[in-house]
Structure 1
């Protein structure tokens, strides 16, 4: 092979090797968004929502947006720090719970009070509306993408079902948040607060008699194996409680994107996303209930009149929340009245 031919061949080989990199660069995402959350990578929320939503956003922007998902707090920190991580730019998007930072996002936390939930889809729409009307100032430096709830909590117990207030007397229960704990205490239960991981240990060794959680949490912690009874309010009643969630984005990151990408993000967020997330959690709820049924556990219904009496017991918890909102510069009574109106509508 002549020197010229060899050079030509090497040049051609070099061009061939360079072509994939060139194509890769041409197709590289214009914007990379880091999504941080606390659930494990095998969680249904990861597989059925985060990955699906991320792929849809990439497709909607013809690949201009790439969402990199970091489950299980892989970017560091603890779940209560997620909102600050978004604000500070440690991550670009996060999924978190307002109750992780009590009283910091009080409007977003309002529907975590007892009996402020119907099903997840309807309650998520109500929460988003409430945030639009009263909570616009809570997330400064952050662009909210969606707000939602899970379905109403149930009472999962080891030794006996709960059908009345009498059944709660002295029962050691793990509560999901402070306001629900206050309500259960008023009903006569002995309430404890600790992480769900400790809850599993507590149920295993008999330190607690049960817990208050939605069905959707059951499979992840194998609660169907640790408890034998589940008590759910009568279908026409409000749920015992629901925690609220915020899906949020760094505002500076959002503002720094091109108009067309911002438009795609807007189309993939807002009220329709809140409703979608709620509907997704209703699906998760059905799956959790199926796990309880497959285990052969006993499911009982707390009568509507009993739930009505429990709601009366919860009234002081609501009054205390109204006063808390008033102290933060809100019209607490108006916020609670509007939340109830939204839940009762339709």
Structure 2
């Protein structure tokens, strides 16, 4: 468990720490929460967020809540099963992506469409607000703790940079989700889908020419050594895509906790946590970009006028998503309009 600094402990959960109920509480765990996620323990999200967050909750509850972290699917199953695992009580908290089960968590998945992200912090705030307004029924039996995104995706390629649609013709790219894959296909790329864990092999043996991912993924898979070029949209343009994430807690487990311990969880979750995770991902993004630069790879800018044409190519994908939302009983146009309004605000 990461050692907490005094500043971290005092600032993260001050409201909960101030509650008188914790002054006399013994330093023995009353509640154990098993947190399950898919990343290895060396991943920054594990070591720099989950371990710190778990320590803050222990501190705020005076040791009454023990969050035990199980990385790399150590409790069994596969990443697409995480949402069901937390609902069924196989784990108590899970961190997962709605796109792992396409079409199931539609409101949460909306901002995984192309050009529906800015930076991670701002987009995470927008996503959490969108879920508060439209996504309350997405997760029955589950208490959502946070929703967030990563920074906008970039195109990382082996042999040549991507500066225009013509550079995408026939390029074999690993797509991060179906909607982004549809856009890249419409622009002329040959898209393949397989888990991010298989990407290293695909780049090494020439099955793919590149991938569409944020910089924050680069260090974990040493993509800076497998690719030579990274292409990002011009400044002020939205990212090519941004997958959404959900941090979920078993509702029954939450409800069986005492009022004061539920208060600790409440203070450690919600919109502020979504913003915090987004900000953390922006820091991960900056570090990943520094690794690309350190490797000496070429970073190029896709011109704004080119991105505008790409956004037109994404319009039919957005229209199809609105229809999918409508078919599920939502007001698709209202959800997409509000998502764009939130992203453009500020």
The TM-score bracket by the shorter chain reads over 0.9
Aligned residue runs from structure 1 range 125-140, under 5 A? 125-140=125-140
Quote the Cα distance in structure 1 between the aligned partners of 2:27 and 2:135.
39
1:27 CA drift (Å):
3.2
Give the match for residue 235 of structure 2.
235
Contact 2:128 2:148 in 1 (8 A): yes
CA deviation digits over 1:24-82, x for unaligned, max 9? xx632011100000000111111100000000001001111001100011111000110
Higher mean displacement: 188-197 or 238-247 = 188-197
Aligned residues, how many?
Answer: 322
Please list every run of 5 or more consecutive structure 2 residues that lacks an aligned counterpart in the other structure: 1-25
Supply the RMSD in Å over aligned alpha carbons: 0.9
Higher mean displacement: 201-210 or 118-127 = 201-210
Give the match for residue 280 of structure 1.
280
- SS, match of residue 307 in structure 1: helix
Quote the Cα distance in structure 1 between the aligned partners of 2:239 and 2:281.
14
Give the match for residue 93 of structure 1.
93
Give the match for residue 33 of structure 1.
33
Quote the Cα distance in structure 2 between the aligned partners of 1:34 and 1:159.
44
Q: TM-score, normalised by structure 1?
A: 0.92
Please list every run of 5 or more consecutive structure 1 residues that lacks an aligned counterpart in the other structure: 1-25
CA deviation digits over 1:208-243, x for unaligned, max 9? 110000000000111000000000001110000010
Quote the Cα distance in structure 2 between the aligned partners of 1:207 and 1:251.
43
Q: Which has the larger radius of gyration?
A: 1
1:345 CA drift (Å):
0.3
- SS, match of residue 257 in structure 2: coil
- SS, match of residue 122 in structure 2: helix
Contact 2:233 2:240 in 1 (8 A): yes
Contact 2:155 2:232 in 1 (8 A): yes
- SS, match of residue 283 in structure 1: helix
Give the match for residue 312 of structure 2.
312
Aligned residue runs from structure 1 range 47-126, under 5 A? 47-126=47-126
1:206 CA drift (Å):
1.2
